[in-house]
């Protein structure tokens, strides 16, 4: 809506995600901002203020709006259908807005989730250290959602998790493909091998995203991309925004290799916990269970490939990369802990984990 950009009122930080969604869809945005340069300044100023409230003050409402804005600008842009309205993705003011938010998000991650120590130089020691960081080390206090799934989760709670995770799993592993061109040699071959498995080696029925869609249908959930965006709590968006950010910045993309390793290493255990929850709920439908079952075996192999055929070849050819790869693991753990804290707080209070459920 050009009108919202022409009015002299200040840009509202509290509804900045809607302002940016409108701006992305405004046909003549660049010309409008050229005619009203104070509006461009106000947009960037509002982004800076939102970034401060969200990523410096860590105000919950601001984090919600900041991550929704980043999702519109980066995560959704890369993977949404081509008919989505985003004429102004590369407008310079929009780019400045995105950088204001991303820089503050990156600083927050570096501040809250730094490396606990420098990575070991010996390859065997590095491998063991990364595995410890991903699976064993008590880095960020969060209640165990694994135990909750095994012992308490209801089918309604599982449906909420499936709905919110659909923002990733209906497009698994699209964010990861964005870093293929950043790799060379053995590491590139390793990542492609892993990713081909996620895409079912080109068989539509075997793509993990297809298996996830079947799971959603069986749970009476909508399988359209981003259908649950408005109801998805911001910690889920933070993980997607992290991936979009590190994938797009060449300076940060080594964090994605570590993040992929973390996700794959963590997956078999998580999938077993979900299966235990479905078993307790009396669900035996193979169309519900197969997404989880297939990941128990597949991701054990994927974790091995991610560590030994992607991460280690990268570090061998560029020893200085180890710290950045490890940041991908540690910052991924931080972001996953945010999700666990959110889900556990909602569920253990008998509340919905969906955004807006309490409004
Ligand atoms: Fe998968
Ligand atoms: Fe996988």
The pLDDT value recorded for residue 89 is: 84
Checking if the pLDDT of 311 tops 70, the result is yes
Instruction: Tell me how far the alpha carbon of residue 355 lies from the centroid of ligand 2, in angstroms.
Output: 28
Checking if the pLDDT of 81 tops 80, the result is no
What are the pLDDT digits (tens) for 9-55?
678 999 999 999 889 888 889 999 999 999 999 999 999 999 999 99
In a domain, 358, yes or no: no
State the CATH number of the domain containing residue 284. 1.20.910.10
Considering the domain architecture, whether residues 66 and 164 belong to the same structural domain is answered as no
Asked whether 222 and 154 are in contact (CB, 8 A), the reply is no
Ligand nearest to the CA of 292: 1
Ligand nearest to the CA of 260: 2
pTM of the model: 0.95
Checking if the pLDDT of 56 tops 60, the result is yes
Q: Residue 26: count other Cβ atoms within 10 Å of its Cβ.
A: 21
- Total domain count, the chain: 2
Considering the domain architecture, whether residues 142 and 177 belong to the same structural domain is answered as yes
- From 77, 112, 147, give the residue that closes a domain: 112
Considering the domain architecture, whether residues 199 and 164 belong to the same structural domain is answered as yes
Within the chain, where are the H helices?
Answer: 2-6, 16-25, 29-35, 37-51, 60-70, 76-79, 92-112, 123-131, 145-151, 155-169, 174-177, 185-198, 208-218, 234-248, 254-280, 286-305, 312-317, 321-348
Ligand nearest to the CA of 263: 2
Ion ligand 1 nearby residues (CB, 5 A): 198, 208
- From 112, 133, 162, give the residue that closes a domain: 112
Considering the domain architecture, whether residues 103 and 164 belong to the same structural domain is answered as no
Instruction: Tell me how far the alpha carbon of residue 165 lies from the centroid of ligand 2, in angstroms.
Output: 15
Ligand nearest to the CA of 206: 1
What are the pLDDT digits (tens) for 131-143?
999 999 999 999 9
Asked whether 244 and 175 are in contact (CB, 8 A), the reply is yes
Considering the domain architecture, whether residues 59 and 90 belong to the same structural domain is answered as yes
What are the pLDDT digits (tens) for 231-269?
999 999 999 999 999 999 999 999 999 999 999 999 999
- From 78, 93, 112, give the residue that closes a domain: 112
Checking if the pLDDT of 359 tops 90, the result is no
Considering the domain architecture, whether residues 108 and 131 belong to the same structural domain is answered as no
Considering the domain architecture, whether residues 189 and 334 belong to the same structural domain is answered as yes
Say how far apart CA 205 and CA 77 lie, in whole Å.
Answer: 26
Split at pLDDT 50, 70, 90, the class of 1 is very low
Considering the domain architecture, whether residues 143 and 98 belong to the same structural domain is answered as no
Considering the domain architecture, whether residues 40 and 150 belong to the same structural domain is answered as no
The pLDDT value recorded for residue 191 is: 98
In a domain, 186, yes or no: yes
Ion ligand 2 nearby residues (CB, 5 A): 264, 299, 302
Instruction: Tell me how far the alpha carbon of residue 78 lies from the centroid of ligand 2, in angstroms.
Output: 20
Locate 89 and state its tokens: 């993705």
Instruction: Tell me how far the alpha carbon of residue 346 lies from the centroid of ligand 1, in angstroms.
Output: 27
The pLDDT value recorded for residue 10 is: 78
The pLDDT value recorded for residue 358 is: 64
Considering the domain architecture, whether residues 279 and 164 belong to the same structural domain is answered as yes
Instruction: Tell me how far the alpha carbon of residue 72 lies from the centroid of ligand 2, in angstroms.
Output: 26
Average pLDDT over residues 322-327: 98
Say how far apart CA 67 and CA 46 lie, in whole Å.
Answer: 14
Phi, psi of 281 (to 5 degrees): -80, 0
Instruction: Tell me how far the alpha carbon of residue 41 lies from the centroid of ligand 1, in angstroms.
Output: 43
In a domain, 356, yes or no: no
Instruction: Tell me how far the alpha carbon of residue 198 lies from the centroid of ligand 2, in angstroms.
Output: 6
In a domain, 154, yes or no: yes
How high does pLDDT run on average in the chain? 94
Average pLDDT over residues 110-135: 98
Ligand nearest to the CA of 300: 2
Considering the domain architecture, whether residues 100 and 194 belong to the same structural domain is answered as no
What are the pLDDT digits (tens) for 345-354?
999 999 999 9
Asked whether 257 and 310 are in contact (CB, 8 A), the reply is yes
Considering the domain architecture, whether residues 104 and 130 belong to the same structural domain is answered as no
Angle in degrees, CA 143, 147, 152, rounded to 5: 105
| Domain extent at residue 84 | 2-112
The pLDDT value recorded for residue 83 is: 58
The pLDDT value recorded for residue 2 is: 45
What are the pLDDT digits (tens) for 184-235?
999 999 999 999 999 999 999 999 999 999 999 999 999 998 999 999 999 9
In a domain, 175, yes or no: yes
Instruction: Tell me how far the alpha carbon of residue 295 lies from the centroid of ligand 1, in angstroms.
Output: 6
């Amino acid at each position: 809506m050009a009108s919202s950009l022409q009015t002299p009122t200040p840009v509202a930080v509290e509804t900045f995600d809607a302002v940016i969604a409108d701006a992305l869809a405004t046909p003549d945005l660049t010309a409008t901002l050229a005619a009203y340069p104070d509006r461009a300044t106000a947009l960037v100023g509002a982004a800076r203020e939102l970034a401060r409230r969200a990523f410096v003050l860590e105000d919950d409402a601001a984090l919600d709006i900041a991550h929704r804005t980043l999702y519109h600008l980066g995560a959704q842009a890369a993977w949404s259908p081509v008919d989505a309205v985003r004429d102004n993705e590369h407008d310079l003011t929009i780019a400045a807005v995105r950088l204001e938010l991303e820089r503050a998000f990156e600083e927050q991650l570096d501040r809250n989730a730094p490396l606990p120590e420098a990575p070991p130089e010996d390859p065997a020691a590095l491998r063991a250290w990364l595995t410890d960081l991903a699976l064993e080390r008590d880095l960020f206090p969060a209640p165990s959602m694994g135990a909750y799934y095994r012992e308490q989760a209801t089918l309604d709670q599982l449906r909420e998790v499936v709905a919110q995770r659909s923002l990733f799993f209906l497009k698994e592993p699209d964010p990861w493909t964005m870093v293929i061109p950043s790799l060379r040699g053995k590491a590139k071959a390793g990542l492609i091998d892993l990713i081909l498995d996620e895409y079912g080696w080109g068989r539509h029925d075997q793509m993990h995203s297809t298996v996830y869609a079947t799971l959603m249908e069986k749970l009476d959930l909508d399988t359209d991309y981003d259908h649950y965006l408005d109801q998805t709590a911001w910690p889920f968006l933070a993980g997607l925004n992290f991936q979009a950010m590190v994938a797009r910045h060449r300076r940060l993309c080594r964090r994605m290799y570590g993040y992929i390793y973390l996700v794959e290493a963590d997956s078999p255990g998580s999938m077993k916990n979900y299966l235990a929850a479905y078993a307790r709920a009396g669900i035996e439908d193979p169309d519900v269970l197969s997404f989880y079952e297939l990941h128990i075996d597949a991701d054990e192999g994927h974790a091995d490939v991610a560590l030994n055929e992607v991460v280690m070849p990268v570090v061998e050819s560029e020893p200085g990369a180890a710290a950045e790869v490890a940041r991908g693991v540690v910052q991924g753990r931080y972001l996953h802990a945010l999700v666990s804290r959110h889900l556990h707080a909602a569920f253990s209070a008998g509340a919905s984990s969906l955004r807006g459920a309490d409004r």
